[in-house]
Structure 1
Amino acid sequence: MQSTVNLRRRRIGLVVAGVLATLSNAQANDTSALPDNLVVQTVNVNGERERDERGARGALGDRADLDTPFATASVGSAQIEDRQIASLAQVFADDASVTSQGGTYTQAAHAVNVRGLRLDFTNGYKIDGQPFQMFGVELPLETVESVQLLKGASGFLYGFAAPGGIINYITKKPTNETLLSVDAGWSSASLKRAHVDAGGRFGDDKRFGYRANLAREQGGTYNGAEVNRQAASVALDARLTKDLAWSANFLYQERDIDGAVPTISLQNYPAGTRLPSPVDGRKDFGAYATSYYNSTLWMGTTALDWRINRDWKASLTYGHTVKRIDSANETLYLTNAAGNYSNRLAPFYRPNLTYDAVQASAEGKFFTGPLRHHVTFGAGWQTLERTLNPESNLSLFGPATAGNLYAPPPVLVDTSTFDRSVFYTISEYTHKSVFASDTIEFNDNWSVLAGARYVDYENLNWNARGVQTSSYNKKPVSPTVALLYKPSSNATFYTSYVEALEDGGTVGTTYANANEVLPPLTSRQAELGVKVDQVGWAANAALFRVKRGATYADYSTDPRGVFTQAGELGYKGLEINGSADVTRWLKANGGVTWLDAEYKATAPALIGNRVESTPRFQAVLGLEAKVPQLAGLSLHANASYLGEQEANSANTIQVPSLTLFNLGGAWRTRLDNRDLTLRLQVNNVAGKDYWYSAGSNSLQIGAPRTISFNARIDL
């Protein structure tokens, strides 16, 4: 009877997100031969519900979401296309626990806060489960099948990572049926995009699969920058035998931006002063004609997946990723509420980062008496090498670089010089780990999860002269334990505890101790949650508490600030998300997050202060309608509210609350016996001018009203 119940559970269409994993995937008709990818089942916050998706769960193995004690979110390619999402900042706009801290035309395009915690750009982002250093990169969403988010501490599942969570980009995989589509679009002001997507299978019994995507973007942005981007991805797979499958994935992007949105710094802003009135996001603040921001990435992965028998399988994966940035970007240092500022140009001395990663894992099921076990175990190894140019002579701010937010920017000339052909290795790290987990089912209702990951983490750092400046080696054990109760097949209550260690990171260039590599931070997370999947509606809620080592800017000894580690930050909150079919043609979704984040045992002046860039309250509400009067026409709209935030650790400057509205639609029809889809999207419908927090003492200029149009035809 127990086996029958479990089979029935596996057939349930899941709508609440499962746990991410680190294995690559090749999709085929014979699912028993599929490599296990990072797949998340989720309540898509736009009301679309994905059914019968299953996949590997890292140290948890392959299981349904209702059997996992973690909160997640996922956005699939259909939603990305219909809403014409072009940046990570927009991907999770419908999730009330996620906050963007960077715009697509800035060096902080990657910056995302989850439950008030910024994701670790060194360990917090994956492509098909492989590690990727995300700083300053905007990945090509045309090549992506879904973007998946695991919320909370993930040390047990992945090793080192910040407790905010993990974002994983799943690239498009071979299709069972032949696919060829072409789409083209336009966006404010003169940005043009084109994309080709092709896939299918060939050979005896369609043994071999392929998927290729090409994307091109070029033109002017709403703020005066010029974009030139090209991207390509290829996915291949082969069913070597009935039980053995091979897959490989490749991704490339070159993205060049001439001019960009400057960062607004509050380091020199007077305490206790209201922020200046926000400025029009369409204004070009470029003072230096030579400012630019270019990024290049390559990624390649390969995997073997072996179905040993009905209950056991194994997987071996290898990934290689490379990222390079070349830039000269501007920062405006505000000096008063009238909008006066000094401009600083900072060449970013062309960092190169290279990852190599290997992982082997196995999982299976067995009984010990009346107890059913689901075990997963494995080992992983990865390295990261980071090289830089020696730091250039920066164009420092001063009287000659003064400007005002409400006046035309000054005309300035870049006087910095440095040799781009000279590189040195600034850091190397090696991350080795072994992991194991066991989920024990006592009966149809109760189960216990226990697991641990042992990590051997070494970090070595050098200066431009080749002198080692610091090193550390940590060997933590990251445990997790959870209790799950299923009152029925479509509901789960859970409580879980996780510990994790995260990389301390490298201090940014604006601080007095720029490029200093900081030691690791420890975090601990407890979560109590519920997931429900009913016909016509779904919901999930999580009550969480996180304790994390504190990092903050100390301005007591240097006006530029010294980025410091000391003490502890405490986060506790509640998030609720849900979706419902209101009628046959109308769906609604919404969510709220309440968060209390404060400095705990740290500098006396900070104890009790609210952590900067953490709104106390967030909310989203969305609607999606299929218009009965016109076949194929669907409309969608959403509103988001972001509460007031502190701009600095001293809590002397506040960023006002913000409400934004977006709407759009898609019309699917036929043209000359071919499927045609027309899409229109309007973001920031009211054309609101606004600031948003981009971290400690940092602001970004909000995007203005933008209009995007896209047409796709399936050939």
Structure 2
Amino acid sequence: MVRHFRWEGWGGRDLANVERVEALKGPASLLYGLTAPGGVVNYVTKQPLATPYYSLQQQFGSYDFYRTTVDATGPITDDKSLLYRINLAYKDANSFRDMVSSDRIFIAPTVTWNISPKTQVNFELEYDYGHVVFDRGIPAIGNRPADVPRSRFLGEADPRSMFERVLVGMNWSHAFNDNWTLSHRFTAVYNGIETYAANPTGLNTDNRMLNIFGVVGHRPPEDDASYFNAINLTGHFDTWGLQHTLLLGGDYFRTFRQGTEQYYFNAVDIYNPTYLGANAIQNQIANAPVVNSSALEQWFGLYLQDQIKLPFNFSILAGFRYDGAENEYIDLVSGAVTENPMQDSLTPRGGLIWQPIPEFSVYGSYTENFVGVQSGRSIGGSLLSPETAQQWEFGAKTELFDKKLMATLAWFDLTKQNMAIYQPPTFIDARAIGEAKTAGLEFDVKGEILPGWNIIGAYAYTPDAKVIKGYPGENGQRLPGVPKHGGSLFTTYELQAGTLRGLKFGGGVLVRGSQTTETSNTDVVLPGYATVNLLTSYSWKVGGSKLTTQLNVNNLLDKEYFPSAAFSRNAIEVGTPRTFMGSVRVEY
């Protein structure tokens, strides 16, 4: 099931019921709104099957990692008009970081009702509950990450920190005939948190004591509710010998969030840390002011797109999207109301494809984007202005060996206005960069080179990623978190015959160039790095079942690296050391 909308919550997405994860880039990611032109990650969830299938998997790895998953599906009725699928997962894990641990329980039942060959309804439920310690990483000293052990945790951990997420969804489709189909999706998501989240605000002048601005927050699931509706009409028809694929639709998104927060402050010695602990934090916030607020966001859109096959192997795509959005913030203590009135925009998209031979095509596209509701408030308390964007893309695609091997080369030029940047010390207030630009080349290749030999690789060259219009000292500075060079290459080979048929082995490398953390003259540079990963697996039949064992080794060379900086120079993520992950899965 393609999910164009997903509100994940603080615990991240559990993949137990996910069939595959897709990276939609460029114009393909924009039509349904609530996205940015750079792309969107799309989850395709597992659907009920008419043929019974059962799977049990146990994973175990470094730092006391244990995860158990169950997948069961099949028909409920003899005529297979009712199908079910249920996915379960349980995880309990520590970390290479001191005091950092997590656990979670995930349950996801799905039912499909095949009313007729042309009409289908799906009902889905997800329940996700767990505990997590928020780790903001380490600070920088000068223009490099601080020289402290990788295990050094510089926040506050509390075992009562928890998250709870409930998703309820329904989608249906009806085919009027072979050419016209109507579909509708409804999703409701409820997120709850009760947590200690520490945000570092900067080192003291002696480069030793890290100031901590902490939040003790509480929000029950019913007070963080998001609703999404989308309806689509898809049709195929001909006019004057031209073949059309028409898409007409609309969507509506509404979220309401109300919660209570209190703040605490601490200074941690990064070389010899001591922690306040839960009792000391409770004492500190006993007289702290309570921030009790609510926020409401509403967004609706209409869209129309037509893809037309033209003579001489040309195809053209043209469409537009209309968006309207409004939001408000209420301080429930003072009663102050801050709101953005309805703001709307009409954004076009279009593209041209030429496929002179079946194995090769070239294309070009232009698209615009409008993000009417941005999270956060600007300095002074007003809500943020809408973010807008424009993107050009040109490229070539090839499909070889009967479409078993595919490659894409693309050039893109993306400009955004009013990007939100969160500000210390609270990381609640934000400001908008006037304008930022990113341009570069991307290359992707994936598929089967020879029977059993698969490859997947990507490379991005982004020489231009900078602030065009910003605050003093920002103009011309490189955007944080965007390396000039980045790529990955991974390959596997599975024996196709003989005694060891089913044995697979492979490996790969992930490479990232250096990147900055802030758009200022005091940029911290995170060094470039490369990590090597290996895997081996073996599958064989045991009676009527299939048994698969697998071993993964990540960061084989135990490289010390820093993948990103979540907020600023004071919150640099620490890369995971060498880890081992084993699994045993039985399917029948």
TM-score, scaled to structure 2? 0.89
Q: 1:347 aligns with which of 215, 218, 226?
A: 215
Q: 1:453 aligns with which of 321, 324, 337?
A: 321
Q: CA deviation at 1:367?
A: 1.6
Is the aligned partner of 1:212 residue 2:106? no
Cα distance between partner residues in 2 of 1:366 and 1:402: 67
**Alpha-carbon contact 2:323-2:370 (below 8 Å) kept:** no
Mark the CA change 1:378 to 1:156 in structure 2 (over 3 Å): closer, same or farther. same
Mark the CA change 1:252 to 1:210 in structure 2 (over 3 Å): closer, same or farther. same
Alignment of 1:227-376 (within 5 A): 227-257=102-132, 259-265=133-139, 270=142, 273-277=143-147, 279-280=149-150, 283-285=151-153, 288=156, 290=158, 293-332=161-200, 335=203, 340-344=208-212, 346-351=214-219, 352-376=223-247
Q: Which amino acid is the alignment partner of residue 352 of structure 2?
A: L
Is the aligned partner of 1:491 residue 2:367? no
Q: Secondary structure at the match of 1:693?
A: coil
Q: 2:345 aligns with which of 452, 476, 479?
A: 476
Residue of structure 1 equivalent to 2:50: 176
Cα distance between partner residues in 1 of 2:357 and 2:433: 46
**Alpha-carbon contact 1:154-1:498 (below 8 Å) kept:** no
Deviates more, 1:306-315 or 1:373-382: 373-382
Cα distance between partner residues in 1 of 2:540 and 2:109: 29
Deviations 1:203-232 (A, max 9, x none): 243111111011111243332433221001
Cα distance between partner residues in 2 of 1:320 and 1:554: 28
Q: 1:192 aligns with which of 66, 69, 73?
A: 66
Q: Secondary structure at the match of 1:324?
A: strand
Q: CA deviation at 1:514?
A: 9.1
Q: CA deviation at 1:484?
A: 1.1
Q: CA deviation at 1:578?
A: 1.0
Mark the CA change 1:645 to 1:701 in structure 2 (over 3 Å): closer, same or farther. same
Deviations 1:219-256 (A, max 9, x none): 43332433221001111111111211111111110021
Cα distance between partner residues in 1 of 2:306 and 2:121: 27
Mark the CA change 1:361 to 1:561 in structure 2 (over 3 Å): closer, same or farther. closer
Mark the CA change 1:714 to 1:409 in structure 2 (over 3 Å): closer, same or farther. same
Q: Which amino acid is the alignment partner of residue 572 of structure 2?
A: L
Task: State percent identity of aligned pairs.
Answer: 22
How many residues are paired up? 571
Cα distance between partner residues in 1 of 2:380 and 2:216: 12
Alignment of 1:400-549 (within 5 A): 401-405=267-271, 407=272, 409-410=274-275, 412=277, 413-414=280-281, 415-417=283-285, 426-443=294-311, 445-465=313-333, 466-503=335-372, 505-507=374-376, 513=379, 517-535=383-401, 536-549=404-417
**Alpha-carbon contact 1:279-1:701 (below 8 Å) kept:** no
Cα distance between partner residues in 2 of 1:383 and 1:485: 40
Q: Secondary structure at the match of 1:395?
A: strand
**Alpha-carbon contact 1:621-1:639 (below 8 Å) kept:** yes
Q: CA deviation at 1:540?
A: 0.9
Alignment of 1:572-611 (within 5 A): 572-579=439-446, 581-595=448-462, 596-611=464-479
Q: Secondary structure at the match of 1:138?
A: coil
**Alpha-carbon contact 1:569-1:599 (below 8 Å) kept:** yes
Is the aligned partner of 1:563 residue 2:424? no
Q: CA deviation at 1:614?
A: 0.8
**Alpha-carbon contact 2:338-2:381 (below 8 Å) kept:** no
Mark the CA change 1:366 to 1:538 in structure 2 (over 3 Å): closer, same or farther. same
**Alpha-carbon contact 2:376-2:384 (below 8 Å) kept:** yes
Residue of structure 2 equivalent to 1:71: none
Cα distance between partner residues in 2 of 1:561 and 1:256: 23
Cα distance between partner residues in 2 of 1:197 and 1:559: 43
Q: Which amino acid is the alignment partner of residue 441 of structure 1?
A: K
Q: CA deviation at 1:642?
A: 0.5
Q: CA deviation at 1:696?
A: 4.7
Q: CA deviation at 1:159?
A: 2.4
Cα distance between partner residues in 2 of 1:558 and 1:473: 31
Cα distance between partner residues in 1 of 2:422 and 2:293: 28
Mark the CA change 1:332 to 1:304 in structure 2 (over 3 Å): closer, same or farther. closer
Residue of structure 1 equivalent to 2:512: 642
Q: Answer 1 or 2: which has greater strand percent.
A: 2
Mark the CA change 1:261 to 1:402 in structure 2 (over 3 Å): closer, same or farther. closer
Is the aligned partner of 1:679 residue 2:550? yes
Cα distance between partner residues in 1 of 2:422 and 2:186: 41
**Alpha-carbon contact 1:685-1:705 (below 8 Å) kept:** yes
Residue of structure 2 equivalent to 1:617: 485
CA RMSD, aligned part only? 2.9
Q: Which amino acid is the alignment partner of residue 533 of structure 1?
A: E
Residue of structure 1 equivalent to 2:77: 203
Deviates more, 1:222-231 or 1:430-439: 222-231
